[in-house]
Amino acid sequence: MEYPSKSLENLIEALNRLPGIGRKTAFRLALHLLRAPAAETRALSQAIGQLQETTHYCTTCGNLADTTQCRICANPRRHTGVICVVAEPQDLLAIERTGQFGGLYHVLGGVIDPLAGIGPEALRVAPLLERAALPETTELIFALSTSLEAETTAFYLARKLEGYPITLSYIARGIPVGSELEFTDELTLARSLLQRIPYSAKAAGE
Amino acid sequence: MEYPSKSLENLIEALNRLPGIGRKTAFRLALHLLRAPAAETRALSQAIGQLQETTHYCTTCGNLADTTQCRICANPRRHTGVICVVAEPQDLLAIERTGQFGGLYHVLGGVIDPLAGIGPEALRVAPLLERAALPETTELIFALSTSLEAETTAFYLARKLEGYPITLSYIARGIPVGSELEFTDELTLARSLLQRIPYSAKAAGE
């Protein structure tokens, strides 16, 4: 297809490379940017241009950060004894949004996936073992998804952490809050049965 | 919500201002750009930054252009006698994609919409009248949508063009190709009946 101007074509092609942005959406966005206030397009252009240079990874937990330490590790009010192990920074953010976790995180940077050529050495496993050996560490919570790769990763880590004087746990799998029992898939339902928890007035009331 | 880094937050906010890009999509795009090759993010940043400075509007037809003349008006193989009147550059592109039109265009820059404060003086009406008065111009085709505003615009233009020695036409409204008669809405079906065209072997065969 022939575009009316070279600069529009350049932008459409650049936008089209983004995940989930097809040609039509790219074109619509480009036309929007063409008419948007100059300050808005400048802000977007600069934000994209500066992103990689100004974003760092926390040397402790691997989370995205402004400097060498992320905001969570730098927060003195966070509980340093419990470390929540996640695959990616977006998983960390999902847990933060719940507002239910006051400990620290450890971002692995992915999960073990032999088919994609990702072995344990590609993940931040060694720093995790170091942190697990710290005297203040009491518990690691695996907050990984339910994929085969994620379960393999949890299994691998649990093996590596054998003998450490810490508690290992993982987030519960079960029927999602608000979902109907009859429409829950069999695997999830089976798991929620196997991993049933003692009914107590406290748990029911909360 | 607290984002892990200021630069990521800036980008998410800038992306979130684009039409159809919510916070979640903005976040996903930002994470993609964080990991994308530097050349890719640089290309996108520059394409956005340079768009408004390097995109011009054709002084003849109002289409987007690299210079003061668009590629269509500059093309000597286009038929200069027939001018297709459209509201926006994207309408022009939609018609170009059909490959069925070899004439020139005129982009109005919108349609008359009193409720939005858009009167005829905000559109490129005067240049259209000038072009309609040129000796080589034989026909104007209104390729406007079927909204009330678009029909008002066509009516307004037709009034203004009364007495010009040219043919005025508008693109056919009817049942879309490939659609079922029984599921076609009543207005469209009524129009396609009122504007029925003589059946000929030529039309049926094409």
**pLDDT tens column, A86-127:** 999 888 988 888 888 899 999 999 999 999 999 999 999 999
- pLDDT of amino acid A1: 57
Percent of chain A topping pLDDT 70:
95
pLDDT above 50 for A184 = yes
CB proximity A158 to B under 8 Å: no
pLDDT digits (tens, 9 = 90+) for B56-81: 999 999 999 988 999 999 999 999 99
Quick one: pLDDT at residue B203? 46
On whether any CB of chain A is under 8 Å from the CB of B85, the answer is no
**Which residue from B19, B30, B36 is facing A28, i.e. has the nearest CB?**
B19
Q: Does the interface ipTM go beyond 0.90?
A: no
Alpha-carbon radius of gyration of chain B: 22
Q: What is the distance between the alpha carbons of residues B79 and B104, in angstroms, rounded to a whole number? A: 7
Where does the pLDDT of residue A200 fall: very low under 50, low under 70, confident under 90, or very high at 90 and above?
A: low
Burial of A51 by CB count in 10 Å (0-12 exposed, 13-18 middle, 19+ buried)?
buried
Query: Rounded CA gap, B2 and B192, in Å?
Result: 56
Inter-CA distances, A17 with A14, A22, B26, Å: 5, 8, 15
Mutation site for B-interface testing, chosen from A5, A34, A97 by largest number of B Cβ within 10 Å: A5
A129 vs B170 pLDDT, higher one: A129
C-alpha distances in angstroms, A165 versus A79, A105, A136, A138, A140?
18, 19, 11, 7, 11
pTM of the model: 0.70
A11–B41 CB contact, under 8 Å: no
**Strands (DSSP E) found in A68-154:** 82-86, 104-107, 139-142
Confidence of residue A83 (pLDDT cuts 50, 70, 90): very high
Cβ contact, residue pair B7, A34, below 8 Å:
no
